[in-house]
């Protein structure tokens, strides 16, 4: 259930801070629910009024997927109350209250409409990636809030963020943190160092996969590789193992 996500542990404080301070730095680890749940909190608690919340994302794929997820959770059609907008693609309507966008889209909107009419809040997600468009948009949003839109609410969110420097830049602002959840992890290493004539890394991964399955391992297996070529080679190596029977082997990369 979404309401069991760690971000809900600070829901009341986050909403109170936004009402009083209007600027919040939110540090929350991956998987805490900040990207999908904070926009819904703003809507649920009535902080949007007649406007909408704009959620900035650094990547197009994440923009689409997050909008689709939030629409599903709210039980609405994508493009109605929840939508997204990227370059050359606008899946929103006059009813949209939660709008996920890439950074260039909001910067263009600021140029066309410097007062950002119809926008009640802006969430800068994954801000640690520090793209030029995001920095410029944040600076412009701060000026707008100070000079013309004191009602505008700003939240800067990240899983890994140097909050100290950012806090000085946004001052006065509130800083909140969601601790997330820790899960038990066991770490094992190969029994010895591999020399220059070591097998390719994908063959080593296939061997470890076979060892895991043969020992009765259950559940999915996630294999991290440095690039698309290594991923494709790893998939082929695992498919040629006898233990791969019954597993669906899929690539996942940008």
17 and 37 fall within a common domain = yes
104 or 234: which leads in pLDDT: 234
60 and 164 fall within a common domain = yes
Per residue in 82-130, pLDDT tens? 999 999 899 999 999 999 999 889 999 999 999 999 999 999 998 877 7
- β-pair type (98-102, 119-124): unpaired
138 and 205 fall within a common domain = no
Arithmetic mean of pLDDT, 40-48 = 96
Instruction: Tell whether the model's pLDDT for residue 155 goes beyond 90.
Output: yes
Measured CA to CA, the distance from residue 156 to residue 24 in angstroms comes to 6
CATH of the domain at 81: 3.40.50.300
Domain boundary among 130, 152, 177: 177
Q: Is the peptide bond before 90 cis (omega within 30 degrees of 0)?
A: no
Domain boundary among 148, 177, 206: 177
138 and 157 fall within a common domain = yes
Instruction: Tell whether the model's pLDDT for residue 50 goes beyond 70.
Output: yes
Domain boundary among 177, 212, 243: 177
Range of the domain at 200: 186-254
Arithmetic mean of pLDDT, 38-51 = 96
Place of tokens 């909008």: 67
User: Considering its fold, how many domains does the chain have in total?
Assistant: 2
Query: Looking at the whole model, is its pTM more than 0.85?
Result: no
* Residue 226: count of CB within 10 angstroms of its CB: 8
Structure tokens at 42: 């703003």
Q: Which of 73-82, 171-180, 205-214 has the lowest mean pLDDT?
A: 171-180
190 and 169 fall within a common domain = no
141 and 211 fall within a common domain = no
24 and 145 fall within a common domain = yes
139 and 214 fall within a common domain = no
Q: Are 98 and 91 in contact (CB under 8 A)?
A: no
Per residue in 158-173, pLDDT tens? 877 666 778 888 888 9
Beta bridge partners of 84: 91, 100
104 and 198 fall within a common domain = no
166 and 102 fall within a common domain = yes
Instruction: Tell whether the model's pLDDT for residue 195 goes beyond 90.
Output: no
54 and 149 fall within a common domain = yes
21 and 147 fall within a common domain = yes
């Amino acid at each position: 259930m979404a309401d069991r996500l760690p971000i809900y542990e600070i829901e009341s404080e986050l909403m109170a801070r936004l009402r009083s301070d209007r600027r919040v730095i939110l540090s929350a680890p991956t998987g805490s629910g900040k990207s999908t749940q904070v926009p819904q909190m703003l809507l649920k608690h009535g902080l949007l009024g007649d406007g909408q919340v704009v959620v900035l994302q650094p990547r197009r794929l994440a923009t689409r997927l997050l909008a689709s997820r939030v629409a599903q959770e709210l039980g609405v059609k994508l493009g109605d109350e929840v939508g997204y907008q990227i370059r050359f693609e606008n899946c929103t309507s006059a009813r949209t209250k939660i709008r996920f966008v890439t950074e260039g889209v909001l910067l263009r909107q600021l140029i066309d409409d410097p007062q950002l009419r119809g926008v009640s809040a802006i969430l800068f997600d994954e801000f640690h990636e520090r793209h030029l468009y995001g920095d410029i948009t944040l600076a412009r949003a701060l000026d707008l809030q100070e000079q013309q839109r004191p009602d505008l609410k700003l939240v800067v969110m990240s899983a890994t963020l140097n909050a100290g420097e950012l806090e000085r830049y946004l001052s006065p602002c509130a800083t909140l943190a969601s601790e997330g959840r820790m899960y038990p992890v066991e770490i094992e290493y190969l029994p010895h160092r591999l020399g220059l004539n070591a097998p390719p890394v994908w063959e080593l991964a296939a061997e470890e996969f076979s060892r895991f399955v043969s020992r009765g391992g259950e559940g999915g297996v996630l294999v991290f590789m440095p690039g698309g070529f290594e991923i494709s080679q790893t998939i082929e190596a695992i498919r040629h193992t006898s233990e791969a029977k019954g597993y669906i082997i899929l690539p996942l990369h940008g």
